[in-house]
Structure 1
């Protein structure tokens, strides 16, 4: 029997909105018992966490049309130690946006391209107030990612 796949959820939250989405993403991922899932704040996640995962979900608020500084810091701290070691890593993004969120998604995608990761789901962008439907969409994202890893789809 092979070891279970590992899903890492890295996020930053300032107001709590992205944290609510991250919790919902985690709840969805935990519906898949065949995958081990960890949720870490961006400042607490590091190279060892990233190298140990088989899939990645990244959550950020939109700050000035960009990702949070904490998520950018995570990338800054892990890029060179992980360079060339995570090519093909499946990832997806969720954003709590006050505006449109596309700038944050675009810039995360540019950095992910540098790592060699592959996006496996459309970005979940929640604009303004988080609704119960948004939280359910976040759960579905987490569950789909965990299930895809467990089944070897990604």
Structure 2
């Protein structure tokens, strides 16, 4: 059995919805390949994710909001806390990244890509950025609802990652 670890952080609900959609997509892909029993999906809130979960997994999906042009603090803390504990122990494994953003998201995506390059992980696709269009303080702090079209994109990325894990690509 292979384990997909989905590490997420969300302040307003968008990144959490995206992570849940990716998990649904991964499960659907495993089922479609008739390998549902071969994939375990482990979702961890970033403060609760540890090196043990990383080491027990064969693929990763990282999902977080962009705050002030960089990763949210909780997601950055996850990487800081676990980086050296798994360095040279997870290289070569596949990963994907998803960012919820107000209008850009590229800063947070670059941070994840640099960290994963250091871990020598293999990206299965470019980071998926969902722009929520929040520009005012009220919009930025408000609870979010991700559109069905964007949730579908998240499901597709989760499915791609699961398929690559299960098919050995």
Query: Would you say same fold, with TM above 0.5?
Result: yes
Secondary structure of the 2:19 match is helix
Counting only pairs closer than 5 Å after superposition, residues 120-139 of structure 1 correspond to structure 2 as 120-128=124-132, 130-139=146-155
**How much has 1:121 moved relative to structure 2?**
1.1
TM-score (norm 1): 0.94
The count of corresponding residues between Structure 1 and Structure 2 is 150
Secondary structure of the 1:30 match is helix
Q: For 1:145 and 1:107, how far apart are their aligned partners in 2?
A: 20
Structure 1 residue 21 corresponds to structure 2 residue 18: yes
Structure 1 residue 147 corresponds to structure 2 residue 163: yes
Runs of 5+ consecutive residues of structure 2 not aligned to the other structure: 31-35, 134-145
Residue of structure 2 in register with 1:84 after alignment: 88
Q: For 1:136 and 1:83, how far apart are their aligned partners in 2?
A: 33
Runs of 5+ consecutive residues of structure 1 not aligned to the other structure: none
Structure with the larger helix share = 2
Query: Conserved in 1, the CA contact under 8 Å of 2:124 and 2:160?
Result: no
Q: For 1:43 and 1:75, how far apart are their aligned partners in 2?
A: 10
**How much has 1:81 moved relative to structure 2?**
1.1
Let me know the Cα RMSD of the aligned residues: 1.0
Residue of structure 1 in register with 2:138 after alignment: none
Query: Conserved in 2, the CA contact under 8 Å of 1:62 and 1:99?
Result: no
